[in-house]
Amino acid sequence: MRDYYSLKINLPGGIVAPGALQNVLTLAYESGIRQVRFGARQQLLMTVHYEDMRLLEKQLKQQSIPHEVNTEQYPNIISSYCGEDVFRTGAWLRESEYHTILDQFDYEPRLKVNLSDSSQSFTPFFTGNLNFIASSEPHFWYLYVRPKQTNVVFRWPQLIYTNDIGRLAKAVEEVLLEKQYRDENTLYKAVTLGQSFITQPATQEIDLPEFSLPYYEGFNRYGQRSWLGLYRRDEQFSIAFLLDVCGLCLKTRIGEICTTPWKSLIIKGIEEKDRTAWSYVLGKHNINVRHAANELGWQTEDHTEEGAQLKNYIVRYFEKNDTRTFGLCFGVQTRPKSEVFGSVLIRQRPLLRIGQLALFNRYDIYFTENFNPNSRTYHLFEKGLFKLHVPNQLHRLCRKFNARRAIETGETIRLEPERIEPVSANVAVVHQCPHCFTIYDEKYGDERNGMAPGTPFYQLPGDYTCPTCDAPKHEMQERNAALLPI
């Protein structure tokens, strides 16, 4: 008999109402569970002891809450909704559009479905089997199909109208799974035979944005409100804390909580008058929201401790050696055929396997084409490494990436030590937040915080904070404006 079971509850689109989440968490807590996590496909995950499993399953079934135990028959629908408004506002794509699409799925998809704003890079584009990506034409979407257990991606010949996405997804799924057609022309003919969809010709491939991972933790202002990003170093959230989060959302009329592919939470629409209440909840549960940016750019597999442990081992090395990881994200793969999102992939493989026992692990390092994590092409960097050597080789790869980027942006690379000279008065100096990379430029000031254009940094009051993430003034670092990436 198993000692523990892995239980999954899908949160379509990575969206959940606070009351619904509160209900599930209460059932889990009453069944003896104290911590949960959120998966790479924006789902809710629990590890449940066998003695608690019977009670919890009974309660979930009584309340008609769909769930899976130790299976992955119904992958969650993931979306870029979590970043809408806070990281990026699409030309026409709005929150209501996501809800319109999600409401069409009156069945549980057996294929992985991704819904993505084409202007963002916070959530992946091609990790699904059916990848719908917003086009520049309002209310029309690209569809990129990746049949199960393949690395082949092909574009649907037409753009799909928003109101037809659910129906088309169901039709494509039925043909792919039941008839097992893999050829794109055969698949298209089988799906469109006897039924029609509102479409437009897709005359070209989609132009994807350059990858840039925003700082997604802590309090951040947008418009007249704030959003709060919650990340946990061990990927575990205590149920007691989450119940308080749900309760405060209900009290302050926040209607949705968003999960992200980075196994974190985003809470939008926090009013300024409620910031103190949110700070109280964070303090009550000793929640830190000021982790280094290079610690956030990682994705590990669900239901595994090995990936998180390796990540933390490497991050400690990065911190010690002040490794620059800006513009990169890292995926850790410890199981064959699992999928993680990253521009750099660390793949673990055993030299010897006896039954289920893996012995003498080695590590291979790959990077994607142009270091874009949405690329499906991987290049080998190093192979057969001991764990001890992995951090240093990743440090080398980061330096290679930064040198390449400097060349592409026209920065000067000096290989020889140069004599340090005083900064010329003509060199523009700014101050940058090390957490979210927001820049204070005295030429523009900070109108939101009442600092007029022309106010030098040294004249800012001592209690001045970063206008984006509230980092204190003394943490902001002096930078040469000419050398910052545009």
CATH code at 466? 2.20.28.10
Q: Considering its fold, how many domains does the chain have in total?
A: 4
| 80 assigned to some structural domain | no
| One domain for residues 401 and 306 | yes
| 283 assigned to some structural domain | yes
Per-residue model confidence (pLDDT) at position 24: 98
CATH code for the domain of 273 = 3.90.480.10
> Each residue of 432-485: pLDDT tens digit?
887 777 888 888 888 778 888 888 888 888 888 888 777 888 888 888 765 555
Give the pLDDT band (50/70/90) at residue 418: very low
| One domain for residues 353 and 402 | yes
Point out the least confidently predicted range of 35-39, 89-93, 481-485. Answer: 481-485
The answer to whether the CB of 365 falls within 8 A of the CB of 394 is yes
Which residue range forms the structural domain that includes residue 159? Answer: 88-201
| 9 assigned to some structural domain | no
CATH code for the domain of 154 = 3.30.413.10
CA dihedral (359, 361, 362, 365) in degrees, to 10, reads 140
| One domain for residues 284 and 302 | no
Neighbours of 19 (CB within 10 A): 12
| One domain for residues 340 and 279 | no
Query: Residue 62 pLDDT > 90, yes or no?
Result: yes
CATH code for the domain of 377 = 3.30.413
Per-residue model confidence (pLDDT) at position 130: 97
**Can you tell me the distance from the alpha carbon of 298 to that of 75, in angstroms, rounded to the nearest whole number?**
21
**Can you tell me the distance from the alpha carbon of 98 to that of 87, in angstroms, rounded to the nearest whole number?**
16
| 351 assigned to some structural domain | yes
| One domain for residues 192 and 105 | yes
| 206 assigned to some structural domain | no
Please, what's the b/e burial string for 248-261 (b: 16 or more CB within 10 A of its CB; e: otherwise)? bbeebebebbbbbb
> Each residue of 358-371: pLDDT tens digit?
778 999 999 999 99
Per-residue model confidence (pLDDT) at position 426: 53
| One domain for residues 310 and 254 | no
> Per the structure block, which two tokens stand in for 257?
């909580």
| One domain for residues 124 and 145 | yes
| One domain for residues 101 and 119 | yes
| 139 assigned to some structural domain | yes
Which string of DSSP letters, residue by residue, matches 262-330?
Answer: TS-EEEEEE-GGGHHHHHHHHHHTT------HHHHSEEE-TT-HHHHHHHHHHHHHHHHHT---TT--E
| One domain for residues 189 and 111 | yes
| One domain for residues 237 and 177 | no
| 304 assigned to some structural domain | yes
Give the pLDDT band (50/70/90) at residue 2: low
| 119 assigned to some structural domain | yes
Domain boundary among 257, 273, 293: 293
Mean per-residue pLDDT, 117-145: 95
- Per the rule left: phi > 0, alpha: psi between -120 and 50, beta: everything else, 286 is left
| One domain for residues 380 and 443 | no
| One domain for residues 299 and 386 | yes
Query: Residue 201 pLDDT > 70, yes or no?
Result: yes
